[in-house]
Structure 1
Amino acid sequence: MSTTLTAEVSDELTRGLNLVRRHAGLPDGEAHLMRFTINAVYRIGDSVVRLARGEAALRRAATVVAGTALLHQYHVPSIELDSYISQPIAVEDWVATVWRYQPHPPGRPEPVDLAAPLTALHAIIEFPTFLPRWSPVANARRRLARTLTLPAKELAATRIWSALQVGMPLDDLIAHLQARADDLERKLPATRWDLAPGVIHGDAHVGNLLADRLCDFDSLAIGPREWDLVPLAHGVTRFSDALALYEQFVAAYNYDLRTAQAWPLLREIRDLQLTTSVLDNLAGRPEVANTLARRLRTYLDGNASAAWARYR
């Protein structure tokens, strides 16, 4: 996987990574950028560094560290933090967690591979107070608000991108998405859930599975377990994933979300998430910006069957 960055963004990430490396005592050597969507993920030898910045990132990283310990307590297959480093790492406004590199077979995992780790995760009986309550629409709304408070240079670039690639002034785009967020949140209290609430991964797609182990715990929360089944069902409808492979997961997990009363609403929430998740962080990432623009154009047109592309 590769990520295209402008030189300015690449230099800024390198500066943050070097601060984290020195603070954590990580070895010198080549750092390979594996991906950059919300976090920049680097491999350095046998370590993987997830790098972000800001107060929200620090709070999220602290929850991730505590959540990882909970998963290991319940023997949930998951990747491991580097136990020799005090975590999370905070230096200036940069925040990082450092993980043991987990080798995995080439190729994308299949949906059925998520069944066992999700079953183990959903068997956790605790409701730990350090985990936030599931609030997917609120998260989207915060990103929308932050977009309009970006530094002047980034905001100007985002306004140009919105006008040229999305076909709508940025303020109108934000207002439209905020209205959709408000509408979806109003519908949530009346939703009927089939599964008991509990600890959820929050973003359980096959891209967050490494050698049959869960990774990327930024969205750990207490909420409806149906939410962890949304990415796979949504992948069939939005990313042209194979229906037969999804049905193998259904047979292994023993529940088909598409039969649930909550599914239409959850699908809409997932659409909103995937059209807002990087809106406040597009600067210097042309491929991500192009992919998001197409998602937004079809979403705003009400085209529920348009196939989307995943970020690279």
Structure 2
Amino acid sequence: MTEAAPAPGGFDESEMHQVLKRGCATIGLDCSDARLLRGHTNAVILLEKEHVVAKIARRGSRVDDVARTVKFVRWLMDTGFPTVPLLPPDQPVVIDRQAITFWSYLPQPDQPVAAAQLAKPLGALHTITTPPVALPHHDNLTTIRRSLAAITCLPEEALSFLAEYADQLEADLGAVEFELPEGVIQGDPQHRNALHTGEGEAVLCDWDTVAVGQPEWDLVTLEVHCRRFGHGQGHYTAFAEAYGWDVTRWPGYCTLAAIRELQMITTNARKVNHAPSSLQEVERRVNGLRRQDRCVQWKLL
């Protein structure tokens, strides 16, 4: 039996290329050499001759949400914040209710951004308290429950286990006392959501999850990625030293880390229909959760 091909951003390949072609035509870009870079969430496509990255928001994304992200990133650019820059034309470009954004392409070396390189931009982001854009409030548990309601790839018994675990973590979260002041958070800071600039610095990218919330969520997310995806304790330690605060020494760490990992598992389980090859990894993660194994490495999806 031939394994079904992933559907980038929830689109079949021909549909994705049609949306891309029409979107590029709208702002005068050549997409004849388009190449898919990433597709598990959004369809992220390189237009190599144009030195541009086109990002087609995942099927079902609200145009208003993408427009809010564009407004926020434009403001960051105006303040000189280290972000991948958007192209000048009005964005998003909307084709058949699908939102497309266009970004400057930054060629990358084989080595991903090191965790420590995220400390400076994240620290600057976390000091922003009054952005001129009405951002949503960060809420991992709502995201988890929304994913649980949409998962079709796992048996009912597994879904019941995950739902009960979410209930337990919600109760645990009620007792957590946050230490850092609330502010703007990236929502998913990790090695793949930052890019080298070619000058020894890194800039943040992928602002879909930007929100108002506790910086501890960002710091836990980075720690989870270092631990689960093979970057190693040294990567996280270097980050914590550069940032100036170690979330793993904070009493609320275990609860937030568990919630973040459950969110990652349920989000990927929800997307299995569009990426069938990810099912085995999702099942492996759920089994690890049952064993309360915090050290088993995950495969990137």
TM-score computed with the length of structure 1 as normaliser: 0.84
Distance 1:13 1:68 in 2: 24
Who is 2:6 aligned against?
Answer: 5
Who is 1:78 aligned against?
Answer: 83
Who is 1:109 aligned against?
Answer: 113
Q: 2:95 aligns with which of 80, 91, 96?
A: 91
1:121 and 2:125 matched: yes
SS at match of 1:186: helix
Q: 1:258 aligns with which of 226, 237, 248?
A: 248
Aligned-pair identity in percent equals 30
Who is 2:72 aligned against?
Answer: 67
Distance 1:173 1:52 in 2: 30
CA RMSD of aligned residues (A): 2.3
Q: How does 1:1-312 map to 2 (within 5 A)?
A: 5=6, 9-45=12-48, 46-84=51-89, 86-126=90-130, 128=132, 130-147=134-151, 158-159=152-153, 162=154, 169=155, 171-211=156-196, 212-311=202-301
Instruction: Sort the Cα spacing of 1:298 and 1:19 in 2 relative to 1 into closer, same or farther, 3 A.
Output: farther
SS at match of 2:31: coil
Distance 2:34 2:191 in 1: 25
Who is 2:199 aligned against?
Answer: none
SS at match of 1:49: strand
Distance 1:68 1:51 in 2: 16
Distance 1:133 1:100 in 2: 28
Q: Retained in 2: the 8 A contact 1:201–1:220? A: yes
Instruction: Sort the Cα spacing of 1:28 and 1:250 in 2 relative to 1 into closer, same or farther, 3 A.
Output: closer
Give CA-to-partner distance per residue, 1:84-120, whole Å, 9 cap, x none.
2x21222223222111112233311111111111121
Amino acid at match of 1:181: A
Unmatched 5+ stretches in structure 1: 148-157, 163-168
Amino acid at match of 1:233: E
User: How many aligned positions are there?
Assistant: 288
SS at match of 2:241: helix
Give CA-to-partner distance per residue, 1:178-198, whole Å, 9 cap, x none.
332233223323211111110
SS at match of 2:36: strand
SS at match of 1:279: helix
Amino acid at match of 1:27: D
Amino acid at match of 1:196: P
Q: Retained in 2: the 8 A contact 1:127–1:198? A: no
| Higher RCO structure, 1 or 2 (CA under 8 Å, sep 6+) | 1
Q: Retained in 1: the 8 A contact 2:186–2:209? A: yes
